[in-house]
């Protein structure tokens, strides 16, 4: 319980230092032996880092439109927030025509993500508190140490640093070497041994993996992405080297149906698939959307004022995401509620079991984001709307449930 509180306080204390966009993650190290520091010392260290960062960052420098300034698209924004809480959801796919804020929402969500703590200088964003997700190269180094400690203890003793949650975009012409990684020829010559250079998937771990126009992505790259998202790890065995590393990012993909349809097997692997064209904006909303963009693009005092108005809401939401990530492991889903989701998947004509599984994860994420430890009826309805309805074989309207006369979802289980 103490560890959870410390993690939440540290993350909340440092988020404001990472609001300004950067061309690459900026790293700031925590002093050695952080695992042996008292909670008060760790919080003081984070506060000192935050103060130093404020000298070189400014809220008004934000490049992308904040999520709160995107007009409409409530279902998509909700799905993105839930996916940021629960990595097991499997990602969000957004379809829509040109100029419907698909990429804007993806980048806006990234600005809301809290920073992450990693092993210092790790190219794989290794979590110093999770030995199960460290790369095989680091594991070998830890296992080779002769100090009488366990691997988890050695990992906890390593120097750490706080970095901005990564945002990695996959280009359409990406090759498998760029995705998975390959031998670094220059470094291999210098060191006289094979040196592995990790790819884009290693950089995306614990951050956002963004794929624009995923329907135009090469089929080989698409299959690699599907396999990685499903397994949560990458195994590279080539040119006399074998490397395994974790890859559990938040996948956000977008596409324009006018440029080509999505392959069915890809649609089935992504938890939530929504259309930005499903609920067109009325004249008032269109005018509000244009005004938001013009205000943000104007720069100067207008932009700073708009960002100041957004700051309080964004900071509160960012803090809620931090706590929800910590609390989601305690969220319960009763047997009756699970049966209800399965029944709705059957009524909607969904094939396979992925709709049921993703719906359960959406419901858990919704409860955690709301600060509850048990799924309730509203969480179940949202899960049906986001994960089951888009897979329905009978309904064309993605904004409505498959059956308006569906029975009410079961209540949450009684408190223990």
| Residues known to be catalytic | 354
Q: Which two tokens stand for residue 362?
A: 């959406």
Burial class (CB in 10 A: 0-12, 13-18, 19+), 356: buried
Q: Where are the alpha helices (DSSP H) in 59-199?
A: 74-85, 102-112, 136-144, 151-157, 176-180, 185-191
d(CA 247, CA 86): 14
Q: Which two tokens stand for residue 251?
A: 């996948």
Among residues 62, 102, 65, the alpha carbon closest in space to that of 80 is found at 102
299: alpha, beta or left? (left if phi > 0; alpha if psi -120 to 50): left
Q: Which two tokens stand for residue 141?
A: 């180094």
**Complete DSSP assignment for 372-385:** -SB--HHHHHHHII
Cα distance from N-terminal residue to C-terminal residue, the chain: 19
Among residues 111, 11, 110, 115, the alpha carbon closest in space to that of 61 is found at 111
- DSSP state, 406? P
Q: Where are the beta strands (DSSP E) in 247-374?
A: 250-255, 272-275
Q: Which two tokens stand for residue 263?
A: 């392959």
Among residues 171, 174, 264, the alpha carbon closest in space to that of 210 is found at 171
- 250-255 vs 208-211, strand pairing mode: parallel
Backbone angles phi, psi at 357, to 5 degrees: -65, -50
């Amino acid at each position: 319980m103490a560890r959870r509180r410390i993690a939440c306080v540290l993350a909340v204390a440092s988020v404001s230092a990472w609001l300004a966009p950067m061309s690459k993650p900026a790293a700031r190290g925590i002093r050695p032996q952080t695992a042996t520091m008292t909670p008060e010392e760790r919080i003081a260290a984070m506060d000192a880092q935050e103060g130093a960062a404020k000298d070189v960052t400014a809220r008004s420098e934000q490049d992308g439109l904040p999520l709160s300034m995107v007009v409409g698209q409530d279902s998509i924004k909700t799905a993105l927030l839930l996916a940021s809480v629960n990595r097991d959801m499997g990602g969000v796919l957004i379809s829509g025509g040109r100029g419907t804020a698909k990429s804007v929402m993806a980048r806006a969500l990234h600005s809301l993500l809290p920073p992450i703590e990693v092993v210092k200088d790790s190219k794989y964003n290794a979590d110093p508190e999770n030995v199960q997700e460290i790369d095989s190269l680091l594991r070998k180094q830890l296992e080779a140490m002769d100090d009488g400690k366990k691997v988890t203890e050695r990992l906890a003793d390593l120097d750490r640093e706080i970095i901005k949650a990564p945002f990695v975009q996959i280009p359409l012409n990406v090759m498998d070497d760029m995705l998975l990684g390959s031998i670094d020829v220059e470094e291999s010559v210098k060191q006289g041994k094979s040196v592995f250079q990790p790819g884009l998937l290693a950089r995306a771990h614990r951050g956002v993996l963004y794929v624009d126009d995923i329907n135009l992505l090469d089929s080989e790259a698409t299959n690699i992405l599907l396999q990685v998202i499903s397994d949560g790890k990458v195994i590279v065995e080539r040119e006399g080297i074998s490397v395994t590393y974790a890859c559990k990012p938040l996948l956000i993909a977008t596409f324009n149906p006018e440029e080509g349809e999505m392959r069915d097997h890809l649609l089935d692997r992504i938890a939530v698939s929504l259309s930005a064209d499903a609920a067109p904006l009325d004249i008032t909303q269109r005018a509000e959307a244009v005004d938001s963009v013009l205000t943000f693009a104007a720069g100067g005092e207008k932009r700073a004022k708009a960002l100041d108005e957004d700051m309080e809401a964004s900071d509160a939401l960012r803090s809620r995401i931090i706590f929800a990530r910590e609390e989601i492991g305690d969220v319960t889903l009763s047997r009756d509620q699970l049966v209800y989701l399965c029944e709705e998947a059957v009524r909607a004509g969904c094939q396979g079991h992925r709709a049921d599984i993703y719906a359960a994860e959406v419901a858990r994420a919704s409860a955690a984001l709301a600060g509850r430890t048990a799924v309730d009826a509203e969480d179940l309805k949202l899960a049906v709307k986001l994960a089951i309805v888009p897979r329905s074989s009978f309904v064309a309207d993605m904004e409505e449930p498959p059956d308006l006369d569906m029975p009410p979802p079961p209540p949450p289980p009684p408190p223990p």
